[in-house]
Structure 1
């Protein structure tokens, strides 16, 4: 079983400079490979002679000597990532590969472990071409290191994600089942097989920090482009957004792990966030709530710990069906939070009723 462990890196100034250069080289190689792949496709469409073979990262080194300073495996992985992107495009599961941007794209590179080139000793992790780097190993692991991905945040912090091949974990089965209805008023409403319901408050993290974010954005907009003060203002804004993202991750990880620990079968509502965000009145709230990430975490944690995750069909009318008699009533407006079934006179809380209907899919 492959499992990833993420830690904070504390490189020296010289090591940080090397990591930044390597990230830049990987982005450069990816873009050059993509540029040449597009040129080859255009030549093939025009019928200009025999089709050229796609280049390799090594073929660029004579033209761009600075690439020799970077980890060759990192450059090779950039090509593999591009190949994967094209494979998804041709399979119809992804869009056409896009060029990586220094400002917008994730700053990272991946290298592989070959005969101990990546290992941990005395509170440091060894990486190819850079040596031992201090890091915070807040949790140990057992297994064989397969690869490592070094990433840098917009605030200049470095992290390393170590992919480990380890034995399957012995998981302890749980007895409970739970239905989870997702929403904006409450982040989640959960009902278990004992018919005990719980409402999880929506933390509204972006809303709570919105005033500080807007203040930082206004300060950035007033600074002169290219000035030191603008860079300081950019860093302050990045820190604001980073704090919100970290708070959101903490909330989602703790809640998803708790649900997986307590329940053997989990039924969760699936919502089309992209379509719902077309409504500009709630777009910011939907982006802040991160339903997709929550379901993603539930999915991989369920796989790790031997749980069964059932994703309800997006068109399943969990809100409209009476959980007492099973009759589907008229479509209800979003502001209707409580209602009475016209068939059996059962009185329902909208969200609790939906979570009970989702729970029934576990049987």
Structure 2
């Protein structure tokens, strides 16, 4: 156990900028200024190699079991187990590095960051999306963003998880109803603006977040 004294974090200078962020799977984050942050798909990049090495590990396990040998004494099994562990660790390091750099960039650039309060645990129950959601690691992104905002004097505003960000037109505010996930672009039936589903959602999140933020100000 090591105890050390560290200096207090100093608030960053004000930038007078705000951003709305909509998290996704095809793109990791969609920003209200129109930018999209690519989903790095760390697990998918290593998936084939991991499968191959895990098959080798499984074969060595079965062989040790067949020979009635203790796994601790099987050097080939232990060597392969460490190899698989290193590959998993590499994926974890890639993901952590990406999330730290991205959250730090947001915190440095914006005073107010507006986000949707996602029910990640509930979404993981969807077996079709669970693997993709785990890979993008939304919960870790949210956690890093929250403590860095606290360190550097930034404000995180969460909109209600039931706020219909993808159903409202950010131009005129018309509620156009729920849409299937495969619909990525739609035209507002009121003002006839063609809208990108994700960018439109992030702009609605920004507007709602700023409304909530201003309501808390003295």
For 1:168 and 1:187, the matched residues in 2 are separated by 28
For 1:207 and 1:243, the matched residues in 2 are separated by 13
For 2:163 and 2:50, the matched residues in 1 are separated by 37
Q: Which consecutive unaligned segments of at least 5 residues does structure 1 have?
A: 1-110, 114-144, 146-163
Matches within 5 A, 1:323-342: 323-342=170-189
Q: Is the 8 A contact 1:173 1:306 kept in 2?
A: no
What is the aligned counterpart of 1:343 among 159, 170, 190? Answer: 190
What is the aligned counterpart of 1:173 among 14, 18, 21? Answer: 14
For 2:9 and 2:89, the matched residues in 1 are separated by 34
TM-score by length of 1: 0.53
Equivalent residue, structure 2, for 1:233: 80
> Larger relative CO (CA 8 A, sep 6+): 1 or 2?
2
Runs of 4+ in 1 over 6 A off after TM superposition: none
- Measured after TM superposition, the shift of residue 322 of structure 1 is 1.0
- Measured after TM superposition, the shift of residue 166 of structure 1 is 2.5
Task: Give SS of 2:35's match.
Answer: strand
Equivalent residue, structure 1, for 2:49: 212
Structure with the largest fraction of strand: 1
Matches within 5 A, 1:212-361: 212-223=49-60, 224=64, 226=71, 227-360=74-207, 361=209
Task: Give SS of 1:266's match.
Answer: strand
- CA RMSD of the aligned region, Å? 1.3
- Measured after TM superposition, the shift of residue 264 of structure 1 is 0.4
What is the aligned counterpart of 2:34 among 197, 204, 213? Answer: 197
For 1:239 and 1:270, the matched residues in 2 are separated by 34
- Measured after TM superposition, the shift of residue 352 of structure 1 is 0.4
Structure with the largest fraction of helix: 2
For 1:168 and 1:263, the matched residues in 2 are separated by 17
- Measured after TM superposition, the shift of residue 165 of structure 1 is 4.3
> Rg larger in 1 or in 2?
1
CA distance 1:165–1:238, shift in 2 (3 Å)? same
